């Protein structure tokens, strides 16, 4: 496929178009909203496939499929999109997740046969969110990135606040205010960064702002302004508290997109904005960030063990996993950075699967409390098996894709910060506890009365989860192609940051 | 002694002249046109004047942008780029606001008292109401105020400044007191506004006197020249300058000169609130910019302390007090105070980027404000017979005229009454949510571009602490804007069965359970709002409610809906593609010396 075709713009515009159709559809089409939404999401997947063929994998370290147009020259903003390997991998992961969320929402928000208005709006919001996600991973203009970073809060806010559990309003407002506060602090940074740069009509382009010779103090302040926003988004200890609330209250599909995809914008921002724009400040801050990351790993895992609510538990496991991702990024070795990039993709698949399957369980039982379940293995064996696979991916079992990335992060980090790597490894042990213990409480033992007669996995549900499990297995056994996407950008990032790579010796054999 | 008549460049004055002449003709129409044709004649004049002013501004544009502007009336008025931008913005906003002012409900009720001179609650008032009298003086008053607003930012000497300020203020005092409902509240608001306004005018004229005492001239350019040389009279100048600024800061509603704002905004007829919230602020900020940029650049270091303090106080107080408001009009009033603070951060930047940033901000703020008050005007209380508390909103359209006249009451201004509006009236609530998001400065709305522009001008001008305070109060302000969205979309309307609104929607058991408990147990801050005064002011007086009321959207002649739609479209378009307007403004954003 021609790399000159505006693939990214197409990928951004198509879901928006789909959402508009859903919102303004003639009445006759409304009952078919689910089919329309699924169709839009699947066509997006096909478009993504075409875009992948246009992307030159051999050159994954450079930004490709670029488009640059003047947008608001008066303030220096351009519409500039383009992806390197990492951006493309994350876009691919997001575009894969959306149709699955649409499928899952069929049961979650609907009554089976008719499509209510509420579901139609929900699906339209999901499609709008998809467009924002693709755009934010592709943005090559700091202003554009900021605009999307903030604007995509709105659909998520409505998806939590309009469709979630009893405390959904509280959760939605908390989510929005945390994110807005972080974003507005970043706004000051964005403005100050532009004024430090060359200015002009396209002064916000990332490439124009990279490699500036900033005064040390200014650079550090700017780094902090950006980093706070990303740390809230990611979320890292100690600004993670909105996530468990949001995940507990949001419908499972929303949580899938929120935790699986949206929060990646935080770590993606650290990787593609904080590091290249503020290299010296990044090196300056790395020790503190690494400590916070390790604390996140252990704290998230420990709290996950203590949770009674299934959705909160998954949210805390994510806090732990985001700790790994941040650790890898700030360890500054090519192995750890590549591992973090790959981890972002895998975590989306793994957490997405966990949230969706947990959503199926909750829909059957009518409760999110882990205590409310028991002995489900005998009642719904297939669902139990799927949950186990998703759970094992969360604890990074070899053979699943998460193992590869987690191993890369730990090995890469060990080369530079052995102590941090050793402590982080404890997180893996704790993961085994929270996953297996949860499995034990929900699925083993004698079936409780309330769970008797539950239906095993339905065809729709099967289709919603199967692609994720397949992807995790494929990437677990054959990670090569995916690693080809994330390795070159990692080297480029390290060059920009200006640190010497520390090779991780044992790694090359372990990928297989 | 010979008298030389000043040469008058009528062409350059045309936007102002068109509006003022239309206002005066409007007064004559009141006297000579028969009753039945009066409203039509007034509407033609009222809508024609701003349209004419826009055309005149457009015609003057090219000349001014190439020459930099001219002075008119021997320097009393300066027609330069900022003047034209502000006159254009005021004309556009007036046009939008007029749509709301001129709108009537399906039963022919406008927002104004049948005869404003009648005593509230008297038989005479009741008679006038039944006869269907209307007070068409509203339109000429509004045009005269608009004329004053268009002169204010163009003034070239301090006396003209004072006169323009009075010309814009006096009609507004009157209009504030003319509300159809809650007339005592309205009249009280008018009196407060008048007294405090007179006080501010006195301060301003005192400032003028002191500055004159220092410099011996009223002309801006000559004062600016005089401030260049240090002299023993410096304290006189400084006090005079501060008093002058206070007079203008009063009009923009900056803290600590803001205390009239919430009362006047709440008491005034809602369409007038929208008009004065948008247009007065534009005009006064235009004058403030000119005074600060052309008269006192030499005093920048001294005045900065004062203006920084005011800006920070305005942002913080506006935001914090808005957090605890329960009346939608008061909330919007405090939000407008906070916005005055944001705009001030752009004013103190003191560079060209600052001027165009402030002008753009004024436009987007004004558009969203007119739209928001338009929505407030349409959302009404309606009495419900005790027997059936869950009347569907659609029934309203089918109800007879007489039924409407008696059952539809004043605006439902208590926040709790807005619960569930997003479900019953998605389009209207959607537009209101859009305006709120724009106020909050969420990207892809016009408000974000405006905020970005003023903050970036402030940071560039070295005022980054102001930008930081602005950003932090924006974050806090987001809370109360979002709270209204929560109310409209996520909170079921009181007395309305939520499950009925979303039928067959939840087979997932936890959701059903939670919704139910949500309604009964009612935790959270939203429901705490539903105080005893949830329904208020039934008759023309502030009286106790006689029946249960529900919230509805009144069917109207559709003019307000047009204004809201235009404002919503502008808010989105200026948020996504602001380039043409930004370029247009920044091309001419230079003051004549």
Contact between chains at B453 and A165 (C-beta distance less than 8 A): no
Residue in chain B nearest A165 by alpha carbon = B511
pLDDT < 70: residue spans in chain B: 1, 6, 385-407, 494-547
Do residues B278 and B343 make contact, with C-beta atoms less than 8 angstroms apart?
no
Contact between chains at B456 and A150 (C-beta distance less than 8 A): no
Q: What is the pLDDT of residue B402?
A: 56
Residue in chain A nearest B516 by alpha carbon = A166
Closest chain B C-alpha to A188 CA, distance in angstroms: 7
Residue in chain A nearest B438 by alpha carbon = A151
Q: Where are the beta strands (DSSP E) in A132-172?
A: none
- Which of B448, B471, B583 is the closest to A185 by Cβ? B471
Query: What single-letter DSSP state applies at residue B77?
Result: E
Contacts of B582 in chain A (CB under 8 A): 72, 74-75
Query: What single-letter DSSP state applies at residue A58?
Result: G
Closest chain B C-alpha to A132 CA, distance in angstroms: 12
Cβ within 8 Å of B, A 181-210: 181, 184-185, 187-188, 191-192, 194-195
Count of residues in chain B: 593
Contact between chains at A112 and B468 (C-beta distance less than 8 A): no
- Which of B453, B479, B502 is the closest to A118 by Cβ? B502
B489 CB near a chain A CB, below 8 Å? yes
A217 CB near a chain B CB, below 8 Å? no
- Dist CA A406 CA B571 (whole Å): 46
Both tokens of B382, joined, read 């309606």
Give me Rg for the CA atoms of chain A.
22
Contact between chains at B510 and A362 (C-beta distance less than 8 A): yes
What's the pLDDT tens digit per position in A172-191? 888 888 888 888 889 888 98
Contact between chains at B517 and A109 (C-beta distance less than 8 A): no
What's the pLDDT tens digit per position in A426-447? 988 898 888 888 888 888 888 8
| Cα distances (angstroms) measured from residue B274 to each of A255, A372, B360 | 40, 54, 18
Both tokens of A481, joined, read 């192609």
Helix (H, G, I), strand (E, B) or coil at A69: strand
- Dist CA A511 CA B16 (whole Å): 77
Binned at pLDDT 50, 70 and 90, residue A112 comes out as: very low
- Dist CA B539 CA B402 (whole Å): 16
Contact between chains at A72 and B503 (C-beta distance less than 8 A): no
Contacts of B472 in chain A (CB under 8 A): 184
Tell me the whole-structure pTM to 2 decimals: 0.88
Both tokens of A200, joined, read 């002009």
Contact between chains at B452 and A187 (C-beta distance less than 8 A): yes
What's the pLDDT tens digit per position in B235-264? 888 899 999 999 999 999 998 899 999 999
Percent of chain A's residues with pLDDT above 70: 96
Phi, psi torsion values for B222, nearest 5 degrees: -75, -35
Binned at pLDDT 50, 70 and 90, residue A256 comes out as: confident
Tell me whether residue B78 is in a domain: yes
Residue in chain B nearest A153 by alpha carbon = B442
- Assign residue A403 a region: left if phi > 0, alpha if psi is -120 to 50, beta otherwise? alpha
- Dist CA B550 CA B540 (whole Å): 18
Signed CA dihedral, A124, A126, A129, A130: sign only: negative
For chains A and B, what is the number of CB pairs under 8 angstroms? 127
Both tokens of A10, joined, read 């197409």
Q: How many CA atoms lie within 13 A of B362 on its CB side?
A: 33
Q: Shortest CA distance to B459 belongs to which of B538, B346, B328?
A: B346
Q: What is the pLDDT of residue B490?
A: 81
Contacts of A169 in chain B (CB under 8 A): 486, 490-491, 524, 526
- Dist CA B434 CA B569 (whole Å): 10
ipTM given for this complex: 0.87
Contacts of B511 in chain A (CB under 8 A): 165
Q: How many CA atoms lie within 13 A of A211 on its CB side?
A: 6
- Which of A116, A146, A187 is the closest to B471 by Cβ? A187
Cβ within 8 Å of B, A 101-160: 107-112, 114, 116-119, 146-148, 150-151, 153-154, 157-158
Q: How many beta carbons lie within 10 A of that of residue B2, not counting itself?
A: 3
Number of domains in chain B: 1
Residue in chain A nearest B446 by alpha carbon = A147
Contact between chains at A169 and B452 (C-beta distance less than 8 A): no
Q: Shortest CA distance to B26 belongs to which of B10, B54, B9, B50?
A: B50
Give me Rg for the CA atoms of chain B.
24
Tell me whether residue B291 is in a domain: yes
Q: What is the pLDDT of residue B42?
A: 93
B486 CB near a chain A CB, below 8 Å? yes
What's the pLDDT tens digit per position in A354-369? 888 888 888 888 788 8
Both tokens of B109, joined, read 């009720």
Domain span at residue B187? 10-379+425-488+556-588
Both tokens of B13, joined, read 């004055």
Contact between chains at A176 and B482 (C-beta distance less than 8 A): yes
Contact between chains at A161 and B452 (C-beta distance less than 8 A): no
Residues forming beta bridges with residue A369, ordered by sequence position:
A309
Query: CA angle B463-A270-A318, nearest 5°?
Result: 125
- Dist CA B441 CA B452 (whole Å): 8
Q: How many beta carbons lie within 10 A of that of residue A177, not counting itself?
A: 17
Do residues B267 and B186 make contact, with C-beta atoms less than 8 angstroms apart?
yes
Q: What is the pLDDT of residue B92?
A: 95
Count of residues in chain A: 512
Closest chain A C-alpha to B416 CA, distance in angstroms: 15
Phi, psi torsion values for B79, nearest 5 degrees: -100, 95
Residues forming beta bridges with residue B189, ordered by sequence position:
none
Cβ within 8 Å of A, B 156-195: none
Q: What is the pLDDT of residue A327?
A: 92
Query: What single-letter DSSP state applies at residue A238?
Result: T
Phi, psi torsion values for B371, nearest 5 degrees: -60, -45
Q: Where are the beta strands (DSSP E) in B397-472?
A: 408-411
Both tokens of A59, joined, read 């050159």
């Amino acid at each position: 496929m021609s790399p000159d075709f505006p693939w990214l713009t197409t990928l951004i515009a198509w879901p928006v178009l789909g959402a508009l159709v859903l919102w303004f559809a003639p009445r006759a089409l409304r009952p078919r909203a689910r089919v329309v939404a699924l169709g839009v999401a699947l066509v997006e997947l096909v478009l993504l496939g075409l875009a992948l063929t246009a992307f030159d994998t051999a050159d994954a370290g450079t930004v490709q499929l670029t488009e640059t147009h003047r947008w608001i020259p008066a303030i220096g903003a351009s519409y500039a999109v383009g992806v390197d390997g990492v951006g493309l991998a994350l876009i691919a992961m997001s575009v894969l997740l959306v149709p699955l969320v649409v499928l899952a929402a069929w049961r979650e928000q609907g009554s089976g046969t008719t499509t209510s208005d509420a579901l139609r709006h929900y699906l339209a919001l999901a499609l709008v969110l998809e467009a924002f996600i693709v755009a934010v991973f592709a943005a090559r203009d700091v202003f554009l990135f900021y605009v999307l970073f903030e604007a995509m809060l709105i659909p998520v806010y409505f998806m939590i606040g309009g469709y979630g559990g009893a405390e959904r309003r509280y959760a939605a407002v908390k989510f929005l205010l945390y994110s807005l506060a972080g974003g507005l602090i970043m706004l000051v940074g964005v403005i100050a960064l532009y004024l430090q740069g060359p200015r002009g009509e396209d002064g916000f382009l990332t490439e124009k702002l990279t490699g500036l010779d900033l005064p040390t103090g200014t650079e550090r302040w700017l780094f902090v302004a950006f980093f706070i926003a990303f740390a809230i988004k990611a979320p890292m200890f100690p600004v993670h508290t909105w996530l468990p609330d949001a995940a507990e209250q949001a419908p499972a599909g929303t949580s899938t997109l929120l935790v699986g995809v949206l929060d990646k914008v935080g770590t993606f921002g650290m990787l593609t904005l904080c590091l290249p724009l503020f290299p010296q400040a990044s090196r300056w801050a790395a020790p503190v960030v690494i400590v916070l990351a390790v604390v996140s790993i252990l704290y998230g895992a420990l709290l996950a063990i203590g949770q009674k609510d299934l959705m909160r538990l998954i949210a805390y496991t994510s806090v732990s996993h985001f700790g790994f991702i941040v650790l890898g990024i700030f360890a500054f070795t090519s192995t750890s950075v590549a591992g973090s990039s790959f981890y972002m993709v895998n975590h989306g698949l793994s957490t997405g699967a966990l949230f969706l399957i947990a959503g199926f369980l909750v829909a059957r039982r009518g409760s999110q409390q882990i205590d409310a379940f028991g002995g489900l293995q005998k009642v719904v064996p297939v669902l139990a098996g799927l949950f186990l696979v998703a759970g094992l991916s969360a604890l990074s079992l070899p053979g699943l894709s998460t193992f590869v990335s987690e191993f890369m992060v730990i090995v890469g980090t060990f080369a530079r910060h052995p102590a941090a790597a050793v402590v982080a490894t404890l997180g893996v042990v704790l993961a085994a506890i929270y996953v297996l213990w949860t499995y034990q409480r929900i699925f083993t033992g004698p079936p409780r009365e309330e769970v008797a007669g539950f239906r095993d996995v339905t065809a729709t549900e099967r289709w919603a989860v199967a692609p994720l499990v397949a992807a995790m297995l494929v990437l677990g056994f054959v990670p090569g192609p995916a690693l080809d996407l994330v390795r070159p950008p990692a080297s480029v990032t390290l060059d920009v940051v200006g640190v010497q790579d520390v090779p991780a010796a044992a790694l090359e054999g372990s990928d297989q | 002694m010979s008298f030389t008549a000043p040469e008058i460049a009528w062409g350059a004055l045309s936007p102002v002249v068109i509006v003022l002449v239309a206002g005066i003709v409007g007064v004559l129409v009141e006297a000579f046109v028969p009753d039945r044709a009066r409203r039509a004649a007034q509407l033609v004049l009222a809508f024609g004047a701003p349209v004419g002013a826009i055309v005149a501004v457009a015609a003057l544009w090219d000349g001014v942008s190439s020459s930099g502007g001219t002075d008119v009336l021997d320097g009393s008025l300066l027609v330069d780029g900022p003047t034209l931008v502000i006159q254009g913005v005021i004309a556009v906003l007036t046009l939008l606001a007029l749509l709301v002012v001129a709108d009537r409900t399906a039963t022919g009720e406008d927002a104004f008292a049948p005869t404003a001179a009648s005593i509230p609650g008297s038989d005479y008032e009741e008679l006038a109401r039944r006869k269907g009298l209307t007070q068409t003086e509203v339109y000429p008053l509004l045009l005269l105020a608009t004329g004053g607003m268009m002169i204010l930012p163009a003034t070239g000497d301090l006396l003209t400044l004072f006169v323009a300020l009075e010309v814009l203020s006096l009609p507004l005092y009157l209009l504030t007191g003319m509300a159809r409902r809650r007339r005592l509240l309205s009249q009280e608001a008018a009196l407060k506004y008048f007294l405090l306004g007179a006080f501010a005018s006195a301060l301003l004229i005192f400032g003028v006197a002191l500055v004159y005492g220092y410099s011996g001239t009223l002309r801006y350019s000559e004062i600016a020249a005089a401030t260049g040389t240090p002299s023993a009279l410096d304290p006189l100048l400084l006090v005079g300058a501060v008093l002058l600024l206070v007079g203008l800061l009063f009009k923009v509603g900056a803290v600590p000169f803001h205390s009239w704002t919430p009362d006047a905004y709440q008491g005034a007829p809602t369409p007038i609130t929208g008009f004065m919230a948008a247009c007065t602020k534009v005009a006064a900020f235009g004058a403030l910019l000119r005074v600060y940029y052309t008269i006192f650049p030499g005093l920048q270091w001294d005045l900065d302390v004062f203006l920084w303090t005011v800006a920070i106080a305005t942002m913080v107080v506006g935001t914090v007090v808005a957090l605890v408001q329960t009346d939608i009009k008061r909330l919007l009033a405090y939000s407008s105070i906070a916005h005055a603070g944001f705009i001030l951060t752009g004013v103190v930047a003191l560079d060209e980027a600052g001027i165009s940033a402030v002008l753009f901000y004024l436009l987007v703020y004004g558009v969203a404000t007119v739209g928001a008050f338009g929505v407030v005007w349409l959302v009404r209380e309606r009495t419900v017979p005790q027997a059936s508390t869950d009347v569907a909103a659609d029934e309203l359209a089918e109800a007879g005229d007489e039924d409407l006249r008696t059952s539809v009451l004043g605006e439902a201004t208590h926040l709790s009454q807005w619960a569930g509006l997003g479900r019953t009236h998605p389009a209207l609530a959607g537009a209101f949510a859009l305006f709120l998001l724009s106020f909050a400065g969420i990207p892809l709305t016009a408000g974000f571009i405006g905020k970005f522009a003023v903050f970036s001008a402030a940071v560039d001008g070295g005022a980054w602490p102001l930008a930081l305070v602005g950003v932090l109060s924006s974050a806090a302000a987001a809370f109360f804007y979002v709270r209204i969205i929560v109310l409209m979309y996520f909170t079921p309307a009181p007395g309305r069965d939520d499950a009925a609104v979303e039928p067959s929607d939840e087979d997932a058991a936890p959701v059903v359970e939670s919704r139910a408990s949500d309604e009964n147990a009612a935790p959270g801050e939203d429901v705490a709002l539903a105080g005893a005064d949830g329904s208020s002011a039934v008759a023309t007086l502030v009286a106790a409610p006689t029946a249960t009321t529900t919230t509805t959207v009144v069917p109207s002649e559709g003019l307000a809906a047009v204004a809201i739609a235009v404002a919503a479209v502008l808010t989105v378009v200026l948020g996504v593609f602001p380039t043409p307007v930004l370029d247009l403004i920044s091309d001419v954003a230079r003051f004549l010396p």
